[in-house]
Amino acid sequence: MNDPSLSSEETQFRDAVRAFAEKEIAPNAARWDLEERYPRELFQRLGELGWLGASFPTAYGGSGGGSALYALLCAELAHASAAIALGVYVHTALASAAIYHLGDEAQKSHYLPHALAGKQLGCWGYAEAGAGADISCVATRAVRDGDEYVLNGAKLYITNSPFADFMVIVASTAPDRGLKGMSLFIVDRETKGVSISAPFKKLGMGASEMAEIVFDDARVPVRNLLGAEHLGFLQALKVLTLGRIASAAFGVGLGRAALEEAVRYANVRMQGGKPISQHQFVRFTLADMATKLDAAWRLTLHAARVADEGLAHDCEASMAKLFATETCTYVCERALHLCGAQGYMRESAAQRFYRDCKVLELGEGTSEIQRETIFRFIGK
Ligand SMILES: Cc1cc2nc3c(=O)[nH]c(=O)nc-3n(C[C@H](O)[C@H](O)[C@H](O)COP(=O)(O)OP(=O)(O)OC[C@H]3O[C@@H](n4cnc5c(N)ncnc54)[C@H](O)[C@@H]3O)c2cc1C
């Protein structure tokens, strides 16, 4: 559908990403999912095209765009493969964005040009066995010792960690101060005392690789402290709002792929002598899916526009993330339902979408956390 709410530059960007993703990513998505391996070479390709830096300033190798452009990138990548989009999003909207927003000049010029070119890849390590929705429970410790911090602990479920060159890690530097005692560190993969487990087996997002990172007296130079000591994580939570907008866009892209598959199948599947799309229930279901997805995109674009105006957008980003990711789950479930037994088979696209969608409601703050955030704004 034409979208008059996009500028001509944004439309061109979307069409270019869409054409690339349809040719280079979508035809391989099912195979990469089964192989459970992220095609690392894609990062370099996306870097050469300037898309990893879509929302970063030109000074560090970015393209100088904003949140809206980044949302378009996420939506189009997720439309072709949600797992590929996940790896790109963790590398750009979390690991690289944390360095851009909180880093000093030396850190930015050391890491960002290589990261945005797709030559050095990043991951973001917050979650732990005991730290999920409750962000104050991080137990990984960083203790200063001269010119270094000594890290001990483990980070669980860390996307991109099997191949990441650098990691942005949340660690407690003052355990008695809760959230005001948590710092961020850039940890290079080759650091002694850092080990990474074998990749985990997951329900969906097969091509996206995740593992556990263990720190055993890992020594990180003081120059790799990111942001203020004790306050780095709080600072990151305030500036990394792009992640929620990106998750919302993700949901729209993946949901759109599921809708298209359901429409395609409904038009070819014959029952009772006619395509199932001629049954009113099927048509109405498809119409509801399309309408909810369009509303999700409007919320997403609105949050991105507010962010690009430099205005506070916490509530808008949470609303977009909540609605778009729950809509995506609804659409993927309905798509599988409409595709019947054929959709349930391992070779069908519908089952892959169904397996991929759920994590969008869990990452970047679960739906419950988004509702808590929204209530903070409306409950006054
Ligand atoms: C595919 C995938 C990729 C991931 N990649 C990364 C990554 O790259 N980096 C990273 O740091 N983490 C990553 N994670 C982990 C992710 O950050 C966590 O899953 C997320 O923080 C939720 O934590 P949890 O899974 O421990 O759930 P829990 O916190 O144990 O929550 C379980 C349930 O309880 C609910 N709940 C908890 N507290 C409340 C409350 N106060 N009110 C209402 N309900 C509540 C939650 O909403 C949820 O439904 C990834 C996870 C997955 C599945």
| Options 105, 260, 364, 368, the catalytic residue | 364
Q: Which residues, 6+ apart, have CB-to-CB distance to 12 below 8 Å?
A: none
User: What pLDDT sits at residue 241?
Assistant: 81
β-partners of residue 183 are 171
- DSSP per residue, 62-74: -----HHHHHHHH
User: What pLDDT sits at residue 88?
Assistant: 97
pLDDT in tens, 155-168: 999 999 999 999 99
- Looking at the chain, list the stretches that DSSP marks H as alpha helix, in order from N- to C-terminal side: 8-20, 29-35, 41-48, 67-80, 82-89, 97-102, 105-116, 232-239, 242-268, 280-308, 314-338, 340-344, 349-357, 367-378
Ligand 1 closest atom vs CA 125: 11
User: What pLDDT sits at residue 3?
Assistant: 84
Share of residues in the chain with pLDDT > 70 (%) = 99
As a three-state string, the secondary structure of 76-129 is HHHHHCHHHHHHHHHHHHHHHHHHHHHCCHHHHHHHHHHHHCCCCCEEEECCCC
> Is there an atom of ligand 1 within 6 Å of 203 CB?
no
Share of residues in the chain with pLDDT > 90 (%) = 96
* Inter-residue contact 37 to 209 (CB < 8 Å): yes
Residue 143's CB: how many other CB atoms inside 10 A? Answer: 13
- DSSP per residue, 175-196: GGGGGGGEEEEEEETT-TTEEE
Q: What top-level class would CATH report for the domain 123-230? A: mainly beta
- Residue 128 CA, ligand 1 centroid: distance in Å: 10
Per residue in 1-34, is it b (16+ CB within 10 Å) or e — as a string?
Answer: eeeeebeeebeebbeebbebbeeebbebbbebbe
- Residue 126 CA, ligand 1 centroid: distance in Å: 10
pLDDT in tens, 229-275: 999 999 998 877 889 999 999 999 999 999 999 999 999 999 999 99
Please state, in angstroms and rounded to a whole number, the distance separating the CA atoms of residues 77 and 91. Answer: 14
User: Which tokens hold the place of 40?
Assistant: 């690392």
Strands 166-172 and 122-125: parallel
> Is there an atom of ligand 1 within 6 Å of 162 CB?
no
For the four alpha carbons of 188, 181, 216 and 132, in that order, the dihedral sign comes to: negative
Select 241-378's CATH number: 3.40.50.10800, 1.20.140.10, 1.20.120.1810, 2.40.50.1070.
1.20.140.10
> Is there an atom of ligand 1 within 6 Å of 250 CB?
no
Per residue in 172-199, is it b (16+ CB within 10 Å) or e — as a string?
Answer: bbeeeeeeebbbbbbbebebeebebeeb
Output the CA–CA distances (angstroms, integers) from residue 292 to 22, 115, 333, 338, 343, in the order listed.
24, 35, 14, 17, 22
Residue corresponding to tokens 């030559």 = 119
Report whether pLDDT(1) > 90: no
What is the CATH code for 8-121?
A: 1.10.540.10
> Is there an atom of ligand 1 within 6 Å of 359 CB?
yes
Output the CA–CA distances (angstroms, integers) from residue 373 to 166, 376, 379, in the order listed.
31, 5, 10
pLDDT in tens, 120-164: 999 999 999 999 988 889 999 999 999 999 999 999 999 999 999
Nearest CA to ligand 1 atom 31: 133
**Is 48 annotated in the active site?**
no
Ligand 1 closest atom vs CA 161: 8
Report whether pLDDT(380) > 80: no
Q: How do the domains of the chain map onto residue ranges?
A: 8-121, 123-230, 241-378
Nearest CA to ligand 1 atom 32: 133
- Residue 364 CA, ligand 1 centroid: distance in Å: 8
pTM: 0.96
> Is there an atom of ligand 1 within 6 Å of 126 CB?
yes
- Residue 24 CA, ligand 1 centroid: distance in Å: 32
pLDDT in tens, 75-116: 999 999 999 999 999 999 999 999 999 999 999 999 999 999
β-partners of residue 202 are none
Domains 8-121 and 241-378 share a fold: no
> Is there an atom of ligand 1 within 6 Å of 210 CB?
yes
**Strand, helix or coil at 6?**
coil
Out of 157, 170, 213, 370, mutate this one to test ligand 1's pocket (max ligand atoms within 8 Å of CB): namely 157
Give the length of the chain: 380
Please state, in angstroms and rounded to a whole number, the distance separating the CA atoms of residues 217 and 193. Answer: 6
> Is there an atom of ligand 1 within 6 Å of 158 CB?
yes
Please state, in angstroms and rounded to a whole number, the distance separating the CA atoms of residues 57 and 268. Answer: 47
